[in-house]
Amino acid sequence: MALRVDEHELGQLKPLAKGGMAEVFDLPDFRIGEHPEWPLVYKRFKKATRPIPIFGLEALVKLRDGLHPDQQKAMDQQFNWMVRVVVDGQHGASGILLPRLDGTYFTKKYNSYGEVSEGPCEAQNLTATDDFFQRWRIPNPSMEQRFLLCRSLALGLGKLHRAEVIYGDLSLRNFLYRLEPTVSVMFVDTDAVRPKGGSSPLGRQPHTGDWEPPEALAAQRSGNKVGFAIQNFETDRYKLGLAILRILARVPRAGETRDPNHIKSVVPTNTFTMLQNSLHGKPADRPTAKDWYQEFR
């Protein structure tokens, strides 16, 4: 299977979205041989982000390709994983190809000017108060749906860890959610992940603010910049616990809370204990994604 494609082979590029590091284009003319039914998008890295080594990105394409077909299908259900590396004759990769996201992960958005648009249903919505959902007419997940979202999150991260891959910069900005037809989450920004023992293709990824594990903050306080940036399975587990807390908390500024007491009254005792172990225990004692998945079954 070809791992890379030249940009000039992609045909028409239709601008879809623009972010700080990349611009995303729809590709109406291009398909890949193994999944001709998949519509694709091209995430083109901005010049300021380049050069990005081709090798690391190709390793991630290969990683998915090397999975057992059942495992691959399971990954595809929850990860917007790159399927090709794009080159343009300049140094490094110019971008990656990704399956176009399923429309079920998009939502209509209203604003105070009465305008309506459609955009990705980012998990950060889950930290908002009820007022946010009412005001912008976005469905407000019930507690039951929130537990199902937590289960889906744990399932996804568990799949990634089983494949020996560290997500790294997990936060509520890096996955989308849907409530129909099934309650589930979809991880995005998968070009920043790293296989265990390897580096992220995009270089060292900082922790998103308010998501730093305690060991990173301790390293920062002692001036240890390398220690501050370390991301491993234990930091993923910390962030999983934090995401669960913030999804279930339903308090003002839930996106910043680290206090498990916010949900003590709404979760079973064992869930609360697991959360305490996630956020306040030793890194090695943090519940795994599999532990969480079983807790929410």
Of 136, 262, 273, 277, the residue at the interface with another protein (CB under 8 A) is 136
- In the complex, least distance from residue 272 CB atom to another protein, rounded to whole angstroms: 20
Residue among 161 and 207 whose Cβ is closer to another protein: 207
Contact 1, 65 (CB under 8 A): yes
Pairing between strand 84-87 and 4-6? parallel
Q: Which of 46, 196, 264, 280 binds another protein (CB under 8 A)?
A: 46
Stretch of 129-137, 186-194, 236-244, 288-296 contacting another protein, by CB under 8 A: 129-137
Among 78, 80, 127, 190, the residue binding another protein under the rule CB under 8 A is 127
Residue of 71, 145, 205, 220 interacting with another protein (CB under 8 A): 220
Smallest separation, CB 196 to another protein (Å): 26
Question: Is residue 232 classed as helix, strand or coil in its secondary structure?
Answer: coil
Q: Which is nearer to another protein, 177 or 293 (CB)?
A: 177
DSSP annotation of 79: B
Question: Least distance in Å: CB of 111 to another protein?
Answer: 5
Nearest to 165 by CA among 82, 259, 243, 91: 82
Tokens coding 239? 């962030």
Candidates 4, 109, 262, 290; binder of another protein (CB under 8 A) is 109
Do the beta carbons of residue 163 and residue 62 sit within 8 Å? no
What totals of helices (H) and strands (E) does the chain contain, helices first? 9, 12
Candidate segments 88-96, 126-134, 139-147, 230-238, binder of another protein by CB under 8 A: 126-134
**How many residues sit close enough to another protein to count as binding (CB under 8 A)?**
34
Convert residues 149-178 into a mask of x (bound to another protein by CB under 8 A) and - (unbound).
-----------------------xx-----
Q: How far is CA 48 from the centre of its chain?
A: 23
Shortest Å, Cβ 47 to another protein: 5
Q: Which of 47, 68, 225, 297 binds another protein (CB under 8 A)?
A: 47
Tokens 């501050």 correspond to: 228
DSSP string, 81-134: ---EEEE-SSSSB-EEEEEPPPGGGEEEEE-TTS-EEEEE-BGGGGGS-HHHHH
In angstroms, the Cα distances linking 280 to 70, 76, 198, 237, 247 are: 36, 33, 28, 12, 18
- Positions 187 through 216 that interact with another protein (CB under 8 A): 206-210, 212
Q: What are phi and psi of 176, to 5 degrees?
A: -105, 165
Q: Is 75 in the site for another protein (CB under 8 A)?
A: no
Q: Which residues bind another protein (CB under 8 A)?
A: 18, 20, 46-48, 109, 111-113, 115, 119, 122, 124-125, 127-129, 132, 136, 172-173, 206-210, 212, 217, 220-221, 253, 255-256, 259
